[in-house]
């Protein structure tokens, strides 16, 4: 479904349903346009957001609106891909960090107690509550 666009003088009002696009996607899409357009948000974040857009320069408003729609799709796909790969990135980061320990840990589920693994002859770690 294409967001509803209504022209009101110099402004174009784009209605975006938050059941389709998250607030993060809407904000990110608008952020890309800040150098080209003035942007104001209105509406109920639980149902729909009205994005008021006005061109800052001579660029046609239709071009800015088309770019806004493209950015909505761009950030929706980015968010979906990020959510799908979030757990894999977390595991890779944990493995990368755990390989730097003096004594390797056999599983990622094993709890690490750092103050037992680090020599601290001057009790520096104790001063910070560890």
Tens of pLDDT, residue by residue over 17-39, are 999 999 999 999 999 999 999 99
Residue with tokens 């757990």, as numbered in its chain: 87
Task: Please check whether residue 38 lies inside any domain of the structure.
Answer: yes
CATH number at residue 78: 3.30.1360
Task: Please check whether residue 47 lies inside any domain of the structure.
Answer: yes
Task: Please check whether residue 59 lies inside any domain of the structure.
Answer: yes
Domain count across the chain: 1
Question: Which domain covers residue 12, as residue numbers?
Answer: 4-96
Task: Please check whether residue 124 lies inside any domain of the structure.
Answer: no
Give the model confidence (pLDDT) of 49-96 as tens digits.
999 999 998 889 889 999 999 999 999 999 999 888 888 888 888 888
Task: Please check whether residue 29 lies inside any domain of the structure.
Answer: yes
The side-by-side arrangement of strands in the sheet containing 4-8 is 4-8, 11-17, 48-55, 37-44
Residue with tokens 């389709």, as numbered in its chain: 20
Q: Alpha-carbon dihedral of residues 19, 46, 43, 17, nearest 10 degrees?
A: 0
Distance CA 126, CA 105 (A): 24
């Amino acid at each position: 479904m294409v967001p509803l666009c209504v022209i009101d003088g110099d402004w174009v009002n784009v209605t975006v349903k938050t059941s389709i696009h998250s607030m993060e996607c809407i904000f990110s899409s608008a952020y890309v346009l800040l150098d080209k357009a003035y942007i104001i948000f209105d509406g109920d974040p639980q149902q729909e957001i009205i994005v008021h857009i006005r061109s800052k320069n001579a660029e046609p408003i239709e071009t800015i609106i088309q770019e806004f729609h493209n950015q909505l799709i761009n950030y929706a796909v980015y968010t979906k891909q990020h959510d799908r790969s979030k757990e894999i990135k977390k595991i890779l980061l944990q493995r990368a960090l755990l390989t730097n320990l003096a004594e390797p840990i056999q599983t990622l589920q094993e709890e690490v107690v750092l103050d037992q693994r680090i020599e601290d002859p001057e009790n520096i770690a104790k001063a910070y509550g560890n």
